[in-house]
Amino acid sequence: MQTFVRVVETGSFSAVAREQAATQSAISKQVASLEKYLGVRLLVRTTRAVTPTDEGLRYFEEVRRLVAEIGEAESHLREGERALSGPLRVATSVGFGLRVLLPHVRSFMRKNPDVVIDLKLDDGFVDLVEQGIDVAVRIGSLADSSLVARRIATSQRMLVAGRNYLAQLSLDQKPPKIPQDLQQHACLVYTELRMRNQWEFSTADGSAVSVRVHGPLQTNNSEVLRSCLRDGMGICYVPDWLISDLIVTGEVVALMQDWLLNPIPIHLVSPPARKHSSKVRAFGDHMAAAFSGVDLL
């Protein structure tokens, strides 16, 4: 049943085989055995996709909840007898995962040596249910959804440029002083944010200004932005944790520091079925304590 549920969620025998460190043939045989036991065909298999039959879809909707509840019941029973164990699938963006989260993942692993972390780094949208993710870090405002969310930190944004970019400005082109000046500069755009190339600023008295910027490059990868900043390709609107070390070394320079940029909330989110997972709860507590009162810069 567990295998069948994951095959329907992922739409792939091979994906589930990778999750379970098994062969694709072994996963297919498990589902075939279940079909034989039930006396009904659950899946339609083609060379391109695996989709549930009408009966399979009805069965999936019923057993998905049961599989989750069985897992939680077993986890709670074992929790009082031994340390947390087994896989925990965690997802976050590439830059945040490498530069902020990873040290805390390591400390969680040292504290819980029997937990096996499967860490997925992806700047694009990750469907937690489809990809079997237990807990994910979401940076920015959350869209309305059924996910269970827990706010763990806040990050500041900065407007920055590579020192090399500023050094190569022409004599009649100055570093930006106000948001409108950015329209005369090469701006590097991160496409995974809702705002994309519409950058927002505010003054100390609360006045808000929004400016549409343009430039030679846009990307969905924060590490590419960091590299382009170092290479002097332009100006960028980024979270402080992405470039804090480059600020210290002087490779990147903060701009327009008398203007305020809206802070970014950081949440842990989980599918409803994982709400009572002891591993998810322990991971959330560990991260909340790690980020408590800490400036991510």
User: Could you give the angle at the alpha carbon of 161 between the alpha carbons of 160 and 166, nearest 5°?
Assistant: 140
First to last CA, the chain: 45
| CATH number of the domain encompassing residue 16 | 1.10.10.10
For residues 162 and 230, the answer to whether their CB atoms sit within 8 Å is yes
Residue 259 lies in a domain: no
pTM: 0.69
Using one digit for the tens of pLDDT, what is the confidence trace for 208-226?
A: 899 999 999 999 999 999 9
| CATH number of the domain encompassing residue 276 | 3.40.190.10
| Domains identified in the chain, total number | 3
Q: Same domain, yes or no, for 69 and 99?
A: no
The one-digit pLDDT tens for each residue of the chain (297 residues) are: 889 988 888 888 888 888 888 898 999 999 999 999 999 999 988 777 788 898 988 898 888 878 777 776 666 665 554 568 888 999 999 999 999 999 999 999 999 999 999 999 998 888 888 888 999 999 888 876 778 899 999 899 999 999 999 999 988 889 999 999 999 999 999 998 778 899 999 987 778 899 999 999 999 999 999 999 999 999 999 999 999 999 999 999 999 998 988 888 999 999 887 777 889 999 999 999 998 855 554
Q: Same domain, yes or no, for 149 and 198?
A: no
Q: Same domain, yes or no, for 142 and 287?
A: yes
Q: Same domain, yes or no, for 33 and 94?
A: no
The pLDDT score that the predictor gives to residue 38 is 92
Name the nearest CA neighbour of 2 among 66, 83, 86, 57.
Answer: 66
Residue 273 lies in a domain: yes
Domain hosting residue 268, numbered range: 86-153+264-291
Q: Same domain, yes or no, for 99 and 233?
A: no
- Give the largest Cα separation in the chain, rounded: 80
For residues 190 and 219, the answer to whether their CB atoms sit within 8 Å is yes
Q: Same domain, yes or no, for 68 and 210?
A: no
Residue 139 lies in a domain: yes
Give the Cβ contact number of residue 152 at 10 Å.
Answer: 19
Decide: residue 208, CB within 10 A, 0-12 exposed, 13-18 middle, 19+ buried. Answer: exposed
